[in-house]
Structure formats: C-alpha cells, structure tokens
Structure 1
Amino acid sequence: MLYRFHSIHQHPHHPTQHIQPLPLPKQPQYGRRPNKPTALAATPGLAPQAQLNISHSNSRISAVLPTGESVEILLYGATIISWKDAKGEEKLWLSEKAKTDGTSAVRGGIPLVFPVFGKAPDHAATSKLPQHGFARTSRWEFLGKSTSESSSSTDGGDSSVKLDFGLSSNNLSEESKKAWPYEFGLIYSVTLGKDGLRTSMVVRNEGESAWEFQVLMHSYLRIAGISNISIMGLESSSYVDKVTAPISTKTSPSAPLTITGVTDRVYTPAGGPEAPVAVLEGGKTKFSIVRDNLNEVVVWNPWTDSKNIADFGPVEGWKNMICVEAGAVGGWQKLEAGETWEGGQVITAI
C-alpha cells in the first residue's frame, strides 16, 4: 500500500523546498433547468480533454493533450520513454536496443535514480545496492491523473495533464528489501504541458529511524548532432570529472560547455540550484532545464565508447543524444522519521 501524503513535515535542519501543485481541474457548469432535454446530456461544446491510455497489459501509460503533445511512461521504473511536441517530434533519445519489457533498466528516455547514484561502496546503507539503486527496476503503481484548463485559448481545453506514480517499501522485490531495509514512500509526478515536461519527486521516511538517499532524473535529450551543441549554465562551476583517473574535482571555464569526447561529469552550478541550464544547437536554445531543490547537474555522453555498451544502439547514437540530468547527488539527503523531501525539474523544448 502506498501512503498518500496530506501534509509535509519540515525539520529545522533539513529545509524543504516545495513544488507548487497544479490547480485542481475546473468542473464544467451545467444548466439547472429541471426539464433539460436528455439530448443535452452529452454537453456539446465541452472543451477538449487530455486523453489517457493504459496499454501493453497494463504496463504502459500514455497521455495526449488536445493540442497533440504526448508522453509515454512505463510502470517498470516509472521510466518516461517518449515525449513529443504538438507536431509529433520526439524530444527524448531512446536506444534501439532498449528493453521495455520490464526485464532490465531502460537505456534512454528518463529513468529514475534512487536511492543511490552510481555505486557507493563506502556508504554502508547503500553499498549492497546495484548501480543507480532500485527505482528504475521496480514496478510502480499508477495513482491517477489530474488536468488543468487553458485560460488563454478560445476553446479552453486541457493545457496540461499530470500523471502520478507511487513506489513504497511494499512494492520492492525481496532482494531490494534485503539490500535496503528502510520504510519509505515515493510519489513521482510527470506533468505534460504545451511548452514542456515537468518531473517531480516526493520522498518520505515512513519508518522510525533516519536514512540517507540520493535522487536523479537521468534525462536523455534528443539532438541533431553532438558536434553542434553547447551547454550554458555550467560556466565557472565546480565539477567532478568521473572520466579522469583518479576521479578529480575541477572548475569549468567561463565559456559554455562543448562535448568533444567521452564526458561524465557531476556539476554544481555556480548560479545555484535554481539557475537554468540550456542546451543550445547551432547557437539557438533547444532545451532549457530549470531545477527545484536539485543542486547538481550530471552531463554524460559515451562518445565512441558506446560500442562497449550492450544495450546502446545504434552504435553511433551518441551523436544524437546528450544526458543533462538534474539531481541531488553531490552528497546525501538525510530524512528523519516522518520527514519529507521534494525536488523536481521542468524541461522546456524550444
């Protein structure tokens, strides 16, 4: 059973930044005439609504706005595998070899990392967990949808749709429970709008003892060509270079970041957790990422090392993807019993 959180507790030493929820959907106002003809029951002229579809033996959720934007999410890992604009143009990169049948973590889209980023052999509580934890390899529950209506368009209609997913201790495999025996509740919300995609996570300690975690939204963004992009918002920032041996901490130059080889870096943007990060293509903004309570940004591209990644395809797919990942992975977030943490991102496609 997943707990639904009605209140957020804030510990004095662990401030929580909140993501404002979307307004509740407005209810259409029908006439009150007692003898209203039954033919009007269908309410012709009702504003267009977002369409929801559950498919693939109840393992996949998709939503489409009246204006054509769409999103598709696997219950396995609550992994977003597709995000398209109104013209049907895909914004996320998904490997041709990605397994979407629930047998392994998905290569591409937006997988979720929790409760550990990478592996942490020196962190006793998570040392027994596999790479990137268990959130991306557990089956989540679909908790439902909510919508908001447009106030600017002439025909009204839904301007966004929010899909909520839940994962708790009770959903885990016995192996995962044994490796990480803590009581928790997660609510992951995916909000599809006309201009962007919002993903947010609520983490709650449902047990009686404190525990620590890391969280990251591993976004694979689709681009036309890696040699033609630059990333702004990471200038003059501290970063951990995971490619160098030994792993070292450096400071980035004042110029935008370009990708010229294997890249695996964890940035702490100098502008702070609310400073936007932009992916430019040909000097023009293609994506903008705004974070909330996610202090770090991971940038990853395997370059030609993609040939050594079994589920990466096509081999030269690295030319058409860049991972710009918002997360809280620079240290550990600690939650005492009953405490809640919340963070998220908004990706805008220009």
Structure 2
Amino acid sequence: MVDRAHKPSAISPSAGGPKPSVHSERDRVIATLPTGDSVEVLTYGATVVSWKSNGKENLWLSSAAKLDGSKPVRGGIPVVFPCFGPPPKDHATGKLPQHGFARNSTWEYMGKSSSESGKLASGGDDAVTMDFGLSTQQLSDEARQAWSYKFDLIYSVTLGRDGLQTMLRVQNKGSESFEFQMLLHTYFKVDNVSKTQINGLGSTSYSDKVLNASEQTQTDPTIRINGEVDRVYKSIKQNTTSILQDGQPQLDVIRDNLEDTVVWNPWIEKAKSMADFEPNDGYKNMVCVEVGAVNGWQKLDPGDTFEGGQIVKSHL
C-alpha cells in the first residue's frame, strides 16, 4: 500500500452481528449492509450509480443515463482518467476523448476485498470493500493506440456504516514515465440547489470555466448556486468540503491525497443542451463536488504507484 501523509481517520466496524452482503450481476455489483445502506457499481466505467444511507439516495442519476455501455454514465460517480476535460493536443493524452477512457471502459470486478487500500474499514461486520480493475490489456484498440502506456488501475469502493469511500490506485507497469490526471466526478443529489451551500473552499483560488477559465479567488466562505457553475479549485488546504441544505449539514466530502475539487452545475441552458440530462430541470436537484488531481499533471515513474480518493459521510 502507498504510504500517505495526512490520511483521513479510519471508520471502524463494530464486532458481531449480521454480515454485509455482496451480489454480483452480469453488469453490476451491489453491496448491502445489515442497516439497509447500499451501493451499486456498474462494471462499465466502474461507475457508482447509487449510494443509499438511512433510506435516502445520496447520488443524482439522470433518468436518461445510458447504463448499457453505449456512452459514459450521466450521474453517479464516473471515474476520470488519464485526462480531465478535453486533453491538450500537444500532450501525450492529446488523442484521447474528453475525460479519458476509464469511464467508458469495462472494468473487471475483482471481488470482495480485505485490502488496506484507503481508510474505511474493510471486511468488518458493517463495512465491505469491492475492488474493480482496469489495465492496458482491457482497453479498446482505439484507446491503446491513443495512449500506449502500460498501467494498472484498482478502484476500491468501500461501503461503511458511516459513509462511502472511493479510492483509485494507479500503477505504472511499463518502462517509461507517464503523466496523468484523475477525478471522481461525483453527482450529489440535493432537494433544492438554490438552497444548497458548499463550505470549505474559502480563500482558495480557482479557474472559472464560465468566465473563460479566468483565475479567481473564493472570497466568500460559502458557495451558493444561482446560475451555471464550473470551477476548478486548486491546491486546497482544508481536507473537507461540506454540502449543506437549508443551512443543515447534509454531506462531508473528505479528500485523501488529492488537492483539487471541481464544483459544477449546468443550470438551465446547458442542461437542456445535453441529450442524456433528464429531466431538463434536474439541475435543481444536483450539484457536482468532484475531488481530483487536475491542476497540471501527475508524473508516475516506472514501477511507482499513486493513490487518491475520497470519503463521503452523510449527516442525514
């Protein structure tokens, strides 16, 4: 396992009692705790499409999302790798599509895990980890030709009684270094985005894509969504970003070994322009708070490993 400084504190399981269950279907894996909390992960993109806690769905999924592998899923938690957004044409990722290939490749379900990847407890009575793998050999011919480096990805999804953890481990299996970006493109479900606040990004600089990628500084400690928002917050000092609804805590997003966070809501016109974004006014009930390493590039030498992700805790 990669040794990381400033790791989030572990969530410990209790002893005894009923065990979590993991059910694998043709195209997805579903884990359920004795409490009824559950998580559902497609093998296509290793995309988490549902996370329920205390009887409430925490993730937003478009009613028009394609779950058949025909295109990346609109909603849930798509995995972005090895580039974020449209890649620069003069970079090694330049021939790849927007957001890379991880979210539109079929991953291998590697089974229920007792791995120490990340900090949520695994293998306990009220926590379970599922591992998904993607390597060079599993890519389409088109993706391999566009990005020919040898790599292994392991994506660990841990459902615990206190939250959900998603961790991505990247290993360079080749003989030359490569550069990459990664992001967990999480769509959170909210009751009313106009009454939603996002805290924990105050005094942080960000690139505002709505304003031609101009550099700005978040002077207000609270972000409120009253129009299209597309911002990349960089080198964040505080580990936790909180989502509040009507002033009440709803979710905490805790970064692990990642310094950047994207905040996104398409608002009215952009939502209408996306064929797989339904209902058209679905922007009222979602906000993306996406942890990642997207400010510049992460360089990974042969044999080296990078690991980063998030723990999300629900207050509801």
Q: TM-score, normalised by structure 1?
A: 0.83
User: Any conservation in 1 of the 2:60–2:286 contact (CA below 8 Å)?
Assistant: yes
Aligned to 2:112: 145
Q: 1:297 to 1:20 in 2, by over 3 A?
A: closer
Aligned to 1:230: 197
- CA distance in 2 between counterparts of 1:91 and 1:25 reads 21
User: Any conservation in 1 of the 2:37–2:161 contact (CA below 8 Å)?
Assistant: yes
- CA distance in 1 between counterparts of 2:180 and 2:84 reads 9
Aligned to 1:42: none
Deviations 1:239-277 (A, max 9, x none): 0001113x211111133011111110000254x1x5210
- CA distance in 1 between counterparts of 2:186 and 2:171 reads 23
Find the residue that maps to 2:282 and give its secondary structure: helix
User: Any conservation in 1 of the 2:129–2:158 contact (CA below 8 Å)?
Assistant: yes
Deviations 1:163-204 (A, max 9, x none): 111000011000000000000001000000112100001100
Aligned to 2:53: 85
> How much has 1:110 moved relative to structure 2?
0.3
Q: 1:100 to 1:290 in 2, by over 3 A?
A: same
1:1-350 equivalences in 2 (<5 Å): 8=2, 17=5, 47-55=17-25, 58-87=26-55, 89-146=56-113, 158-245=125-212, 247-268=213-234, 270=236, 272=237, 274-304=238-268, 305-350=270-315
> How much has 1:22 moved relative to structure 2?
7.9
**Runs of 5+ in structure 2 lacking a partner?**
116-123
Q: 1:269 to 1:277 in 2, by over 3 A?
A: farther
User: Any conservation in 2 of the 1:167–1:187 contact (CA below 8 Å)?
Assistant: yes
Q: 1:284 to 1:86 in 2, by over 3 A?
A: closer
| Equivalent pairs, count | 306
Name the aligned partner's letter for residue 312 of structure 2: I
Find the residue that maps to 1:136 and give its secondary structure: helix
- CA distance in 1 between counterparts of 2:221 and 2:22 reads 43
Structure with the bigger percentage of strand: 2
User: Any conservation in 2 of the 1:18–1:342 contact (CA below 8 Å)?
Assistant: no
Name the aligned partner's letter for residue 241 of structure 2: V
User: Any conservation in 1 of the 2:8–2:256 contact (CA below 8 Å)?
Assistant: no
Deviations 1:218-240 (A, max 9, x none): 00000000110111011111000
- CA distance in 1 between counterparts of 2:200 and 2:235 reads 7
User: Any conservation in 2 of the 1:187–1:203 contact (CA below 8 Å)?
Assistant: yes
Find the residue that maps to 2:281 and give its secondary structure: helix
- CA distance in 1 between counterparts of 2:114 and 2:33 reads 10
- CA distance in 1 between counterparts of 2:11 and 2:281 reads 43
- CA distance in 2 between counterparts of 1:19 and 1:332 reads 22
Name the aligned partner's letter for residue 131 of structure 2: D
> How much has 1:299 moved relative to structure 2?
0.3
- CA distance in 2 between counterparts of 1:65 and 1:110 reads 20
Query: Percent sequence identity over matched residues?
Result: 49
Name the aligned partner's letter for residue 52 of structure 2: K
Find the residue that maps to 1:170 and give its secondary structure: helix
Find the residue that maps to 1:117 and give its secondary structure: coil
**Runs of 5+ in structure 1 lacking a partner?**
1-6, 11-15, 29-45, 149-156
Find the residue that maps to 1:319 and give its secondary structure: helix
- CA distance in 2 between counterparts of 1:54 and 1:302 reads 34
> How much has 1:17 moved relative to structure 2?
4.9
Q: 1:187 to 1:225 in 2, by over 3 A?
A: same
Which protein is bigger by CA-based radius of gyration? 1
Name the aligned partner's letter for residue 97 of structure 2: P
User: Any conservation in 2 of the 1:19–1:342 contact (CA below 8 Å)?
Assistant: no
Find the residue that maps to 1:243 and give its secondary structure: helix
Deviations 1:46-88 (A, max 9, x none): 8311111112xx211001001110000000000000000132x
Q: CA RMSD in A?
A: 2.3
Q: 1:218 to 1:62 in 2, by over 3 A?
A: same
> How much has 1:347 moved relative to structure 2?
0.6
- CA distance in 2 between counterparts of 1:277 and 1:77 reads 25
User: Any conservation in 1 of the 2:87–2:97 contact (CA below 8 Å)?
Assistant: no
